[in-house]
Amino acid sequence: MGSRAFDLLMLLVEHRDRVVSKDEVFEQVWKDQVVEENNLSVQISALRRTLGVDAIATVTGRGYRFAAEPATEAKAAPQVVGNIGARQALLLAREDELAQVLKAFDDAACVTICGLAGVGKTALAGVAAHQLARRRGYAQGAWWVDLSVVREPSQLVRAVCETLGIEPEGRHDLLQECLGNLRHRELLLVLDNCEHIVDAAAAFVDALLAVAEKVEVLTTS
């Protein structure tokens, strides 16, 4: 867009609530220069090519009016609270599986992605967790617990507490403190790589969902 067309656009936008006469355009855009009327037509055409044919309306015998609708401010994508930001991965040719995981949460509070090692369970869980978090807007976010580093079943609850920032007070056993803390929270908990401590993971999830109605769990195994 040339400088003349830009000046013309600014004039029309500034006075978008009324028709701007040709005389006013020449006076404001071309100042004291003597120009042919077709110069104005050229600039109007340039603006219409850039903004669309309906952006500048011609009012016969009177002049021009800026007619484009103001752009609405795009709503920012909701921020995902939690620690799954780095877990979102590019997922190719697995849309059907992703859709199945998301749909499963319509009827269940816990969904498990099963498969052999190396088939992409973690990647699928990462994308699913992101989409769930954005769609559902969990008040306390979505949290990812990597259980591959947990060697003993007894360490599972501690890993969850450390991820969620739950600090044991020492008055109860760790499981009860964890459950008490999560009882009234609304969040998604992802337990990745449960296969080597599957019994402990299942017991923890059962206990959690029995007391925390607004918690959902996604596991991979």
Q: Is the pLDDT of residue 7 over 50?
A: yes
Contact 2, 46 (CB under 8 A): yes
Is the fold of 3-66 the same as that of 85-220? no
Q: Is residue 1 very low, low, confident or very high in pLDDT (cuts 50, 70, 90)?
A: low
What are the structural domain ranges in the chain? Answer: 3-66, 85-220
Q: Give the pTM.
A: 0.63
Compute the distance between CA of residue 90 and CA of residue 63 in angstroms, rounded to an integer: 53
**pLDDT-wise least confident of 47-61, 95-109, 135-149:** 47-61
Q: Does domain 85-220 have CATH number 3.30.43.10?
A: no
Q: Which residue has the higher pLDDT, 141 or 68?
A: 141
Flag whether pLDDT at 10 surpasses 70. Answer: yes
What token pair was written down for 110? 């816990």
Q: Which CATH number fits domain 3-66: 3.40.190.10, 1.10.10.10, 3.40.50.800, 3.40.50.1110?
A: 1.10.10.10
pLDDT at site 74: 46
Share of residues in the chain with pLDDT > 70 (%): 87
- pLDDT, position 83: 82
Provide long-range contacts, Cβ within 8 A and 24+ apart, for 183-187: 183/211, 183/212, 184/212, 184/214, 185/139, 185/140, 185/212, 185/214, 185/215, 186/138, 186/139, 186/140, 186/214, 186/215, 187/82, 187/138, 187/139, 187/140, 187/141, 187/142, 187/143, 187/214, 187/215, 187/216
Instruction: Give me the chain's average pLDDT, please.
Output: 86
